[in-house]
Amino acid sequence: MNFSEKVYKWRGFILGVLAFLLLLLEPSHDVISVSAFLLFIAGFFLRVTARRNIGIHSRSLNVEAPQLVKDGIYQKLRHPLYFSNGLFASGFLLLHLGWQNLTFPIAAFVWLFLFFLAKNEDDFLHRKFGSEWETWASSTPFMFFNLKGLKNLKFERSFFDAFVEDKWTWFFLSLYAALIFLRRYFS
């Protein structure tokens, strides 16, 4: 198993350690930033939208893909789940630390980690699907996208079904938000 595969396998644990370390930092006592909630809302809708096409097969400890998902939001963005993770992480950073100088290098580290994971996945998909991936990737942005044409996307499952498929993600994100609020309140 090479370095990229090990990082992918432990990606949830690595992000969990980063989340725990964030809780150790002194929270901001400023008014909670509205930006944090806007990032949460955007992350929520993007994540559920991605799950409407990708389903649950992306939960593996190894990079796997039974098929190349090119429909729905995957027509507009190659890595919407990683992007949604970045939105959530940035929201948590703003919720806990506010707009202080320390927020930005931590956010940059998290986004670089997510870019590394997405690049690793791109390499895997390219090897597995070859010219099909090349055609899709040539017209689909890597991580940032244009919102134009989003209302015409087709999905395999309902918003509710996609939400329920990710129930453990919502549980842990809610738990973490509660811990941040408790940390702010009791410090």
DSSP per position, 112-155: HHHHHHHHHHHHHHHHHHTHHHHHHHHHS-SS----TTGGG---
What predicted TM-score, i.e. pTM, was given to this entire model?
0.90
Task: Give the closest residue to 177 by CA, choosing from 96, 64, 114.
Answer: 96
Say what the pLDDT of residue 89 is: 96
Neighbours of 139 (CB within 10 A): 9
Residues 65, 125: contact at Cβ < 8 Å? Answer: yes
Q: Count how many domains the chain has.
A: 1
Rg (alpha carbons) of the chain, rounded to whole number: 17
| Cα separation values, 145 from 16, 27, 46, 79, 105, Å | 27, 32, 12, 10, 23
Write out the residue range of the structural domain in which residue 61 sits: 3-185
Say what the pLDDT of residue 62 is: 54
pLDDT in tens, the chain (187 residues): 788 878 888 888 898 899 999 999 999 988 888 999 999 999 999 999 999 988 665 555 455 667 888 888 998 999 999 999 999 999 999 999 999 999 999 999 999 999 999 998 899 899 999 999 999 999 899 887 766 767 778 888 899 999 998 898 999 999 999 999 999 888 8
Task: Give the closest residue to 92 by CA, choosing from 74, 110, 76.
Answer: 110
Residues 32, 104: contact at Cβ < 8 Å? Answer: no
